[in-house]
Structure 1
Amino acid sequence: MTGINAATRQATPRISSLRWILVLACASQFMVILDSSIVNVALPAIQRDLGFTATGLAWVVNGYLLTFAGLMLLGGRATDLFGQRRMLAAGLVLFAASSLVGGLAGTPEVLVVARVVQGMGAAMLAPATLAVINTGFTEEHARARAFGAWSASGGVGGMAGALAGGALTTGLSWRWIFLINVPIGAVLIAMALTVLSGKRTGRKESLDFTGAITGTAGLAALIFGVMQTTDHGWTSALVLGPIGAGLLLLVVFTVVQARFTAQPLMPLRLFGIRRVAVGTGLLLLFGGIAIAMWYFTALFLQNVLGYSAVRAGLGQTPAAVTFLVIARVASALLPRTGARPIVLAGCSSLLVGFGWLAQADAGSGYLTGVLGPTLLVAIGIGLTFPTLMATTTADVPESDTGIVGGLANTASQVGGSIGLAVLAAAAGARATQVAGESSPAGLAAGYDLVFLLAAGLSSAIAIVSVLLPRDQRS
């Protein structure tokens, strides 16, 4: 009996510590994803106060997203080499400090630079949170539940952006959408230094700077070119130039990693693990699904049904809650069923939900035109996203947890950036063709096309998912 009590006393701190580690990882991920969307509602107020031009204003969003997606591979490898606690704490310091500068900014240039640095902090945080979960939760069921909570925190963070941005901008000032990160960041920094181990990999390696430069520059150029399609056509030199340069740099990056680097930034051997290779490809496709759901349904509610930004956020809240619940269900099922059945079930729900959503028009009511289909889409996302993340990053060597986490996050972010550009261009062309780009009928037709394309992406994910291994450890 004494031995049992002693064992229980020894296990209890471990369980308590894991809970705090999960809280830290989920809160950090929530803050990172929240800042991807919270700024959107405040953009008009920011433009008025600081005197942004229309083109310059876009960089308040793009500056963050560009460095966030472009630097995640580097952040992932740095996590493996320098330790999870150091990288998570350093990312939080950078994120909170740049948020303070952004909140106090008096000129457009200062705010854009702050957002760029904020994206750098996010690129350090995102792969570190995944690495923390992968190494902290070694038991299969516990790790699946932790990934469900992590995925749900990111999804709710994206959803909460519109609500929080609208409330803070209306009730206080747009500056508080940045300043709110400072006290939250301070608490999370203290948690990171308290609950995480300072252990490093023990490897005497240095960062692959050639790979860091070519890989980061390639991703940044590719994403920048895709972002330019908002203001220029796909055939414009301002679009094709950066995209071509980005693709060329990524080819150089791959060759260097394969042949000329002893300690590569992105070890290509990881793509020999089937679930890493297939899961990364599926997450790339899934980025377009997430954009179609949260971004374009918000636009449909505002531009077609006439909702305010805050009311549109409230209109999406039932779907966000559904996603939160289903993500936990998926995580509980994953160790029992494997990834394939859950992903196929999720894609079926996505297909039906997007197909139903594509029937909505200016005369549709909220309950049958939006709520019903978005709940089905939320079920599909809740089943699919945490399953893909957990499967892609499961059981990798501890020395590679950061880079695999960075790879998974990068795939999702790049897929979202490309998906946004492609789907927005398709929506605009369809709206103009039907009834004019600014008319509710034309906009509805454009958004309906987006939802049909998202249904097609759902089918593609279902087809490719059969390549996922049956065993999580394959």
Structure 2
Amino acid sequence: MERKNLILMIASAGTFVEALDIAIINLTIPSIQEQFGIGAETVQWLQTLYVLFFGGFLIIGGKLSDQVGHRKVFLWGSLIFMLTSLGAGLSTGFETLAVFRALQGLGAAFIMPSAMSIVTHTFKEERERSRAIGIFSSFAAIGSGSGLSLGGIISTYLSWHWVFLINVPVLLITLVFAYRYLPKDEKGKSQKTDLLSGVLLVLGLLSLTYGAHELIHIKEQTYLVIGSLSAAGILLFLVIYRLKSAPEPLIDIHLFRHQSLVVSNMAFVALGAFFIGFLFLISLMLQKDMNHSAASAGLMLVPFSIMSALVAKFILPHVTKRLNSAQMGIFGWIFMLAGAVLLLASVHFGHPLPLVLSGAACISGIGMTFCFTALSVLGIQDVDASGYGVASSLGSTSYFLGAGLGLSFLTLMSQVFPSGNAVGDLSIVILIGYAVFALGMLLYFIIRSVRIRRDEVAVS
């Protein structure tokens, strides 16, 4: 059992670092803008490129994990992430930083599904597996929560370069332990991985995101914007065509016969749009609207990182015993919705600090831990073990697809409907809409599942 727990910690360390990097950059945005002399709409691409490369290559990472080996892909992903973190931290130009930031997403795309597959293959008994996935997923939530506080403190007392360089020693230690303790991959039948579909998917998502981001400039750049959106449509159509016709498709479309996987992925899209949008907005609200320094904002958010860890350690295991994954998802989304409502109220009442921090506590301290864990379990609960890598990467792909498009949509709306504040009502109302959508999907799934069981009982 001790070896199993060590394997769980190694896999969780990998996912912690890639989740940390999603959030850690947010409170460093003003210092990056100041050094390179760029606006918010430009610096936002550092986050968008990361999440789109992450999400776009996740399915390839999951497929390679199933075919080449979980350990091998985890090691390669950790090495890529470590080297690109070093490159980003040493960058002296914005374009170089953006390239390394995108390649960080590629490394993360190999780490996440292989780490999840390592956990699901190590813990095979259902209750034991649910507990392990809960701990693993909570590390992702804790990484996202602690990233905000660490980013603000590091950028103030060191520099923004160190938000990337901090990954290097952590990943070096993870690589050493992973090489030493992760079990060797079983030799299986070698299969081709449909890399072309993965590349088409990434290009399609980038074209779609760029077109959506530049919609506000459609009068000045008509051909560029329409061309980008048209290219996105063609590329994504080609992806769907290849999935149906390729002999070894990137995704087995039969996976989508599982209603639990479909609902989980749709809720993951909303979760990505909500949480990455929240990270972006809370950094602007604390620094621009409330005039706190990056370090001060980071320190104020530290308790929620601790809260997230305590919730994962002491409360999550008890909730998983009493609620199934869909019910736990609703439980988590209620906190996300409450947090967004509190942030909306704070805008109307002049940003009182207790109200702002209460909203952040509901979202990053409590809600995210339950939502990410619940949706991760829901997405694979009906899938065969041989498809865990692809199934888990589908959920993460949906999360980062939602993150990339959701962040671009928030930026577009803030430009179309400017507010007197850095964070206006509309941005938070959009977050509320994401939460309501996810709650509706999960409620629909529960009601439908109850009806199916009732019909089965009636027939028998």
Query: Aligned Cα RMSD in Å?
Result: 3.0
420 and 343 in structure 1: CA distance in 2 versus 1, 3 angstrom threshold = same
Instruction: Describe how 1:324-343 pairs up with structure 2 within 5 A.
Output: 324-328=309-313, 329-343=315-329
In 1, the alpha carbon distance for the partners of 2:30 and 2:350 equals 28
- Could you tell me which residue of structure 2 aligns to residue 11 of structure 1? none
In 2, the alpha carbon distance for the partners of 1:251 and 1:245 equals 10
Matched, 1:24 2:10: yes
- Could you tell me which residue of structure 2 aligns to residue 100 of structure 1? 86
1:18 Cα deviation after fit? 1.4
Structure 1 residue corresponding to 2:388, chosen from 375, 378, 401: 401
Matched, 1:389 2:376: yes
In 1, the alpha carbon distance for the partners of 2:303 and 2:277 equals 17
Structure 2 residue corresponding to 1:263, chosen from 248, 269, 279: 248
- Could you tell me which residue of structure 1 aligns to residue 440 of structure 2? 460
AA paired with 2:21? D
- Could you tell me which residue of structure 2 aligns to residue 311 of structure 1? 296
Structure 2 residue corresponding to 1:379, chosen from 366, 387, 395: 366
Matched, 1:417 2:397: no
Gaps of 5+ in 2: 453-460
Larger mean Cα displacement after TM superposition, 456-465 or 161-170: 456-465
In 1, the alpha carbon distance for the partners of 2:328 and 2:42 equals 43
In 2, the alpha carbon distance for the partners of 1:248 and 1:195 equals 45
Larger mean Cα displacement after TM superposition, 351-360 or 91-100: 351-360
- Could you tell me which residue of structure 2 aligns to residue 37 of structure 1? 23
Instruction: Describe how 1:103-114 pairs up with structure 2 within 5 A.
Output: 103-114=89-100
TM-score, with structure 1 as normaliser: 0.84
- Could you tell me which residue of structure 1 aligns to residue 117 of structure 2? 131
- Could you tell me which residue of structure 2 aligns to residue 449 of structure 1? 429
SS of the equivalent of 2:292 reads: coil
- Count of aligned positions: 447
Instruction: Describe how 1:193-212 pairs up with structure 2 within 5 A.
Output: 193-200=179-186, 202-212=188-198
112 and 310 in structure 1: CA distance in 2 versus 1, 3 angstrom threshold = same
In 2, the alpha carbon distance for the partners of 1:210 and 1:228 equals 27
Output one character per residue of 1:333-377: Cα deviation in whole Å (capped at 9) or x when no partner: 33543223222333333334433332222524222x223344334
151 and 244 in structure 1: CA distance in 2 versus 1, 3 angstrom threshold = farther
- Could you tell me which residue of structure 2 aligns to residue 225 of structure 1? 211
Q: Is contact 2:284-2:423 (8 Å) kept? A: no
1:232 Cα deviation after fit? 6.7
1:74 Cα deviation after fit? 1.0
Structure 1 residue corresponding to 2:265, chosen from 275, 280, 300: 280
AA paired with 2:85? S
In 2, the alpha carbon distance for the partners of 1:158 and 1:168 equals 16
TM-score, with structure 2 as normaliser: 0.86
Gaps of 5+ in 1: 1-14
AA paired with 1:409? S
In 2, the alpha carbon distance for the partners of 1:126 and 1:234 equals 40
412 and 187 in structure 1: CA distance in 2 versus 1, 3 angstrom threshold = same
1:109 Cα deviation after fit? 4.0
SS of the equivalent of 2:91 reads: coil
1:452 Cα deviation after fit? 3.8
Q: Is contact 1:69-1:220 (8 Å) kept? A: no
113 and 320 in structure 1: CA distance in 2 versus 1, 3 angstrom threshold = same
- Could you tell me which residue of structure 2 aligns to residue 3 of structure 1? none
Q: Is contact 2:75-2:175 (8 Å) kept? A: yes
Instruction: Describe how 1:243-262 pairs up with structure 2 within 5 A.
Output: 243-258=229-244, 260-262=245-247
1:65 Cα deviation after fit? 2.7
Q: Is contact 1:282-1:461 (8 Å) kept? A: yes
AA paired with 1:410? T
326 and 212 in structure 1: CA distance in 2 versus 1, 3 angstrom threshold = same
Q: Is contact 2:335-2:366 (8 Å) kept? A: yes
Instruction: Describe how 1:115-130 pairs up with structure 2 within 5 A.
Output: 115-130=101-116
Instruction: Describe how 1:165-180 pairs up with structure 2 within 5 A.
Output: 165-180=151-166
1:70 Cα deviation after fit? 1.6
Percent identity, please.
Answer: 26
